[in-house]
């Protein structure tokens, strides 16, 4: 297969992802769809996994990391309702694809690993956590501007749900929206406790 044939194949796969995974599942904002259309998802996976970059499931990247399904990222961006003036923090490993999508929608985006330094450019008006958390760390509220938003996966009783949070009076308040396909982030797991 030539490079041109490969590119045409990926372009067709990207269009199919938008039409058969995103649009039919309620991701219909024209700006968000344009961001997906402009971004070659295959460039965010290892070369040996490029053929499966557009499947409707998480793509394993190696060393326990996964690229979330496009639908998960689409649902996150839809819930976040980003505006051009947002200052966005993307937390995740890898986080690069979600960060690249966000860069097409807002002016400022920082991508940081879960164990990285989030405070460098705070406060943020929007935090996107590219994975599921059991517990929101205290530092999360501290990096948000008042009224700032958080969109993440929230694990409750072993089930991950898309969740939208807002900083109100220094506290984060979350609303669960729908079940979604998120990989758990170990750094945000609840401390294990022993019980009878």
- Up-side HSE of residue 15: CA atoms within 13 Å toward CB? 5
Place of tokens 């019980």: 195
Q: Taking the domains of the chain in order of start, what are their residue ranges? A: 3-188
∠ CA 164-101-186 to the nearest 5 degrees? 55
Q: How confident is the model at residue 193 (pLDDT cuts 50, 70, 90)?
A: low
Q: Computed from CA positions of residues 160, 10, 128, 139, in that sequence, does the dihedral angle turn out positive or negative?
A: positive
Task: For 66-87, write each residue's pLDDT tens digit.
Answer: 999 999 999 999 999 999 999 9
Distance between CA atoms of residues 167 and 140, nearest Å = 9
Task: For 82-127, write each residue's pLDDT tens digit.
Answer: 999 999 999 998 779 999 999 999 989 999 999 888 877 889 999 9
What dihedral angle (degrees, nearest 10) is formed by the CA atoms of 127, 100, 76, 6? -160
Q: What's the average model confidence in pLDDT over 34-48?
A: 96
Q: How far is the CA of 77 from the CAs of 116, 128, 162, 190, in angstroms?
A: 22, 8, 11, 26
CATH classification of 3-188, choosing from 3.40.50.880, 3.40.50.150, 3.90.480.20, 3.90.550.10? 3.40.50.150
Q: What's the confidence (pLDDT) of residue 3?
A: 57
For the record, the structure tokens of 71 come out as: 């639908």
Q: What's the average model confidence in pLDDT over 165-189?
A: 90
Closest CA to 39 of 100, 122, 121: 100
For the chain, the average pLDDT equals 91
Q: How far is the CA of 88 from the CAs of 4, 61, 91, 128, 140, in angstroms?
A: 35, 24, 10, 7, 13
């Amino acid at each position: 297969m030539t490079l041109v044939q490969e590119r045409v194949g990926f372009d067709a796969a990207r269009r199919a992802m938008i039409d058969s995974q995103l649009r039919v599942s309620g991701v219909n904002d024209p700006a968000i769809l344009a961001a997906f259309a402009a971004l070659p998802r295959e460039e965010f996976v290892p070369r040996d996994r490029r053929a499966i970059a557009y499947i409707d499931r998480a793509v394993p990247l190696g060393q326990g990391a996964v690229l979330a399904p496009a639908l998960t990222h689409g649902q996150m961006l839809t819930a976040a309702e980003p505006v051009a003036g947002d200052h966005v923090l993307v937390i995740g490993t890898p986080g690069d694809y979600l960060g690249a999508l966000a860069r097409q929608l807002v002016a400022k985006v920082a991508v940081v690993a879960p164990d990285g330094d989030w405070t460098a450019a705070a406060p943020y008006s929007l935090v996107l956590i590219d994975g599921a958390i059991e517990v929101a760390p205290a530092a999360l509220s501290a990096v948000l501007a008042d009224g700032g938003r958080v969109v993440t996966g929230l694990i409750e009783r072993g089930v991950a749900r898309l969740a939208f949070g807002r900083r109100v009076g220094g506290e984060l308040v979350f609303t669960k929206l729908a079940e979604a396909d998120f990989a758990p982030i170990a750094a945000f797991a609840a401390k294990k406790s022993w019980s009878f």
